[in-house]
Amino acid sequence: MVERLAILSVHTSPLAVLGGKKTGGMNVYIRELARQLGRLGILVDIYTRRVSSEQPVVDMTLGENVRVIHVVAGPIQLLDPDQVYSYLSQFTAGVIAFTTKNPIEYDLIYSHYWLSGWVANKLKEVWNIPFVHMFHTLGHMKQRIATSTAYLPDVRIAVETQIVNWADRIIAATQAEQAQLLWLYRTDRRKIVVIPPGVDLKRFHPLPKDQAKRQIGVDENNHLLLFVGRIEPLKAVDTILEAVALIHQYHPNLCVGIIGGNPKNPADAELNRLQMLAQSLCIDGIVNFLGAKDHNLLPLYYAAASIVIVPSDYESFGMVALEAMASGTPVIASEVGGLAFLVRDEETGFLVPARDPSALANGIRTILTQPEKRKELGENAVALAHQYTWSGITQQLVTVFNDVVQNHKRFTRRKH
């Protein structure tokens, strides 16, 4: 039985504000899972890289039985994930130093993203315990749609290929990710378990639309089209702008909300590009770049929206889509990766080809002009989201964790 768990999230903290440069669904996943595990009485330590001198070594604000431990690895500032790679040995040493100074014995490591998988393998060797890994995104898939060479594709893919051999179990968010792991990484099928992320139904649930609009300052007569996520090219926010440009003259009561990034940061090249695109398409008057928002405010935005749009080139799962569905809002999403499994076409929203503004515009037009259809999609979305409760998802993971620990103990006994 797992009584004490080490979670590794090297490059990003579950305490970080969402919508930042490298914060999103993975942060939510780790935070909500840790809280749920803590409620079950499991002691959870989350190790993440220290990025600010104001961060305490140990933060206990996430909830009962959960600690976030900030490890110094490299400069104490935000770094891109590829920059963090150089400091993985230092991070590993920092974790070992903390557990030596504060004697702790864990039953299992649960690592997230390829950087953490590298660290998990080193700790597995030192601590002689198993580790379970979740990739969240895969280098091979990123490389297929990459528009820049800012990260370390060859190094990342090589490490990911090693992780599927090192790890005792791999958690895939969807059947799509499972297929990618089998096809691109030759992963042992017996190692992969498909368990999706969950959604907090106490936070994300239907709210009166007019009331939500008033609270966030949207005109009650307007239809809000909403995007929530990181502002980076693969999120394809430009496809939303191009689609809106095709239909806005026929829908004068349309407005667009883009949550994510920092509109006041002149160094954000992608955000600047999108703002210029909105101007060139003559829709800058109806497009609002809202910046990152606290997770507690998102329910109001989801509830106020007529449609939430997830136009990404690649998503391993699509946490935003699930949160929107739980809020009773139809979703239009690219038919890629996990989104193709999560969003049910013409049942909870629409699936459209990636990078197809015309198809996206048609989906938007259909939902806006058919209020009964919009209502039906929203109701179906809520019903589907109820299959993804965090309590149920956590229980599935605990079953896997316990099985891995028991197998490891049996193997260890046989060796001796």
Over residues 238-254, the mean pLDDT reads 96
Specify the pairing of strand 108-112 against strand 4-8: parallel
- Mean pLDDT to the nearest integer, 233-261: 96
Rounded distance, CA 107 to CA 216, Å?
Answer: 45
Give residue 294's pLDDT band: very low, low, confident or very high (50, 70, 90): confident
Is the fold of 4-198+389-415 the same as that of 209-385? yes
Q: Kindly give the pairing relationship between strand 131-134 and strand 4-8.
A: unpaired
pLDDT of 151 reads: 58
| Helix 153-166 / helix 175-185 crossing angle, nearest 10 deg | 100
4-198+389-415 topology per CATH: Rossmann fold (3.40.50)
Residues 274 and 257: their CA atoms lie apart, in Å, by: 13
Rounded to whole angstroms, how far apart are CA atoms 225 and 242?
13
Helix (H, G, I), strand (E, B) or coil at 338: coil
Give residue 149's pLDDT.
Answer: 53
Q: Which DSSP category does 17 fall into?
A: P
CATH architecture of 209-385: 3-Layer(aba) Sandwich (3.40)
Model confidence at 19: pLDDT above 70: no
Contact between 231 and 237 under an 8 Å Cβ cutoff? The reply is: yes
Are 259 and 293 contacting, i.e. CB atoms less than 8 angstroms apart? yes
The pair of structure tokens assigned to 90 is 């230092």
Bridge pairing between strands 131-134 and 108-112: parallel
Q: Write down the residue that tokens 């109820």 correspond to.
A: 386
What is the largest distance, in Å, between two alpha-carbon atoms of the chain? 75
Left, alpha or beta for 374 (phi > 0: left; psi -120 to 50: alpha)? Answer: alpha
Domains of the chain, by residue range, sit at: 4-198+389-415, 209-385
Percent of the chain at pLDDT > 90 equals 87
- Name the E strands within 50-141: 58-59, 66-71, 108-112, 131-134
Q: Give the range among 151-160, 359-368, 373-382, 385-394 with minimum mean pLDDT.
A: 151-160
Q: Is the pLDDT of residue 20 over 60?
A: no
Strand 305-310's sheet: what is its strand order? Answer: 287-291, 254-259, 223-228, 305-310, 331-334, 349-352
- Beta strands 58-59; 66-71: pairing state: antiparallel
Distance between CA atoms of residues 159 and 82, nearest Å: 12
Q: Hey, what amino acid is at 228?
A: V
- Inform me whether the pLDDT recorded for 72 exceeds 70: yes
Amino acid 152: pLDDT? 77
pLDDT at 147: 55
Count the neighbouring beta carbons within 10 Å of the beta carbon of residue 331: 31
| 32 pLDDT above the threshold of 80 | yes
pLDDT tens per residue across span 143-197 = 887 655 555 778 999 999 999 999 999 999 999 999 999 999 999 999 999 999 9
CB 33 within 8 A of CB 199: no
| 99-153 pLDDT per residue, tens | 999 999 999 999 999 999 999 999 999 999 999 999 999 999 988 876 555 557 7
Q: How far apart are CA 29 and CA 247, in angstroms?
A: 35
Q: What digits encode the pLDDT tens for the residues 306-353?
A: 999 999 999 989 999 999 999 999 999 999 999 999 999 999 999 999
Helix, strand, or coil (residue 45): strand
